[in-house]
């Protein structure tokens, strides 16, 4: 789900695994949405696309203002499981136009960015 400001994404790990990765009891007979059943692989993909993990406050489920590393204790346990908060400056609730700026961080793309060049991507067919 979106965070309160529409600038980040909350992911309930247990619910995500059960409903989308088809590893839990609620997944029987469902179509496979991802090529993995490992939540860690999903997090790795988010990181490759420029998402940063934010620290979740257990009291308010609000994030602190700056991104932190995954090892900084950004997971908070809730009755259903850990809640993860991810942020990307180009992933905003009210700005679907920014999605084309989300790029996979490959070696070639990193070299382009380091050289001050723009990294381009092809728009999905349904947006063109």
Tell me the domain boundaries of the chain: 8-59+78-98
**What's the pTM?**
0.65
Given a contact cutoff of 8 angstroms between Cβ atoms, the answer to whether 91 and 98 are in contact is: yes
Q: In terms of DSSP H, where are the helices of 4-77? A: 13-19, 39-48
Residue 37: half-sphere exposure toward Cβ, Cα within 13 Å: 7
Is CATH 1.10.10.10 the right assignment for the domain spanning 8-59+78-98?
A: yes
pLDDT over 50 (residue 51): yes
HSE-CB at 75 with a 13 A cutoff on CA atoms is 12
- Across the range 7-25, mean pLDDT stands at 83
Q: 84 pLDDT exceeds 90?
A: yes
Q: Give residue 117's pLDDT band: very low, low, confident or very high (50, 70, 90).
A: confident
DSSP character at residue 119: P
């Amino acid at each position: 789900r979106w965070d309160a400001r529409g600038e980040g994404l909350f992911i309930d790990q247990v619910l995500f695994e059960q409903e989308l990765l088809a590893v839990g009891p609620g997944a029987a007979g469902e179509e496979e949405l991802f090529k993995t059943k490992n939540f860690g692989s999903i997090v790795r993909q988010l990181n490759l696309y420029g998402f940063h993990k934010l620290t979740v406050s257990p009291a308010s489920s609000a994030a602190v203002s700056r991104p932190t590393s995954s090892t900084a204790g950004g997971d908070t346990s809730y009755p259903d499981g850990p809640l993860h908060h991810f942020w990307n400056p180009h992933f905003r609730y009210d700005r679907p136009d920014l999605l084309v700026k989300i790029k996979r961080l490959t070696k070639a793309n990193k070299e382009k960015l380091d050289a001050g060049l723009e990294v381009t991507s092809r728009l999905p067919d349904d947006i063109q």
